[in-house]
A and B are shown apart, each in its own frame.
Chain A
């Protein structure tokens, strides 16, 4: 029996039947998990852009956020090993630049173990869209500290307090060479949909960092169990880019800078590779 054989929409929302693998719904995400909101916003963006799912390839890693496309989004999916999505995605994109390659995974996967690959993919400015769902811990394994956990926080592996500073992934990726970087939270759903659309339309490396709630694992650690409480926190702690420019480092402590961090139009990696082949083909046929 071939999968995806269900034609009629079993659920109320038309986007479910159109874009998701219905047989396995509801999702295995915890109640109130931000991953679900990201999936929701992503699907809306795809619909508004009228992107054909046949032209999308999702490459994901290990962790709750990696489950956003795999298995829920009905599209070609490469669910890879922890941290390595960007490297796998590079191979896919070089061979099939006509397909839109999308990486969706978490902060631990992309900025922790995958940090090296993240920096180099951004440096190459390869035409891949990365959505890093940042829930500030390793949620799937029970709430351990991650490279984006705020300073001083109690987690399963920082039982006294976190003595490390968190990585500002968006800023690092911008410095490494990405054409597009923005950051939003799962509270800012409308700007997030817009950012997803912008990222998917970029030719070059696009990166959207999405601060997201983890009410069960991280929530247990920081004693915040309701998804809504996280979202209120994001609402209250967010500062738009334009405002942040006029704030001191002290004023920005504990704040989440949201908006577009970088937008430019540098040469894209695969285009450059292919140009060499074209030049050679014409040279050799002379």
Chain B
């Protein structure tokens, strides 16, 4: 499961652009700083590769097993 830290995200879209399985997309939720947050669009496709978790410039993504 992909958990996004809403207070940290800056809406750079690296995670949604690079997920090999297209798990993440952009939501229409804006956080306190005015950035659009990513959201899970293909929940069951996540393989736990943790690429998004490692690429995120804000350490705003945590992959957990669910």
A and B from one complex: yes
> Would A227 and B59 be within 8 Å (CB), given that A26-B7, A189-B54, A190-B54 are in contact?
no
Interface of B is mostly: loop
Contact indicator A32/B54 (Cβ below 8 Å):
no
Query: Measured between alpha carbons, how far is A231 from B54 in the docked complex, in Å?
Result: 14
Contact indicator A35/B5 (Cβ below 8 Å):
no
Contact indicator B18/A231 (Cβ below 8 Å):
yes
- Asked if A40 CB lies within 8 Å of chain B CBs, one says yes
Query: Measured between alpha carbons, how far is A35 from B60 in the docked complex, in Å?
Result: 14
Query: Measured between alpha carbons, how far is A199 from B18 in the docked complex, in Å?
Result: 27
Complex partner residue of B59 from A34, A35, A39, A226, CB under 8 angstroms:
A39
Query: For residue A215, which residue of chain B has the nearest CB?
Result: B12
Complex partner residue of A40 from B11, B18, B35, B54, CB under 8 angstroms:
B54
Query: Measured between alpha carbons, how far is A224 from B10 in the docked complex, in Å?
Result: 18
Cβ contacts under 8 Å, B60 to chain A: 11-13, 26
Query: Measured between alpha carbons, how far is A259 from B10 in the docked complex, in Å?
Result: 30
Query: For residue A27, which residue of chain B has the nearest CB?
Result: B58
Cβ contacts under 8 Å, A231 to chain B: 14, 17-18, 55
CB distance from A157 to the nearest CB of B (A): 26
Cβ contacts under 8 Å, A14 to chain B: 62
Query: Measured between alpha carbons, how far is A226 from B58 in the docked complex, in Å?
Result: 16
- Asked if A82 CB lies within 8 Å of chain B CBs, one says no
Kindly supply a per-residue 1/0 record for chain A positions 226-243, scoring 1 wherever the CB is within 8 Å of any chain B CB and 0 otherwise: 111001000000000000
Query: For residue B15, which residue of chain A has the nearest CB?
Result: A228
Total interface residues on B, CB under 8 Å, equals 24
> Would A11 and B59 be within 8 Å (CB), given that A31-B35, A40-B54, A44-B54 are in contact?
yes
- Asked if B57 CB lies within 8 Å of chain A CBs, one says yes
- Asked if A43 CB lies within 8 Å of chain B CBs, one says yes
Query: Measured between alpha carbons, how far is A35 from B56 in the docked complex, in Å?
Result: 10
Interface of A is mostly: helix
Query: Measured between alpha carbons, how far is A238 from B61 in the docked complex, in Å?
Result: 26
Query: Measured between alpha carbons, how far is A44 from B61 in the docked complex, in Å?
Result: 13
- Asked if A69 CB lies within 8 Å of chain B CBs, one says no
Contact indicator B13/A228 (Cβ below 8 Å):
yes
Query: For residue A43, which residue of chain B has the nearest CB?
Result: B59
Cβ contacts under 8 Å, A227 to chain B: 12-14, 57
Cβ contacts under 8 Å, B58 to chain A: 25-27, 29, 36
Contact indicator B10/A40 (Cβ below 8 Å):
no
Cβ contacts under 8 Å, A41 to chain B: 54
- Asked if B29 CB lies within 8 Å of chain A CBs, one says no
Query: Measured between alpha carbons, how far is A44 from B8 in the docked complex, in Å?
Result: 18
- Asked if B51 CB lies within 8 Å of chain A CBs, one says yes
CB distance from A152 to the nearest CB of B (A): 27
CB distance from B57 to the nearest CB of A (A): 2
Contact indicator B13/A16 (Cβ below 8 Å):
no
6 contacts between A and B (CB under 8 A): A26-B7, A40-B54, A186-B55, A189-B55, A215-B12, A231-B14
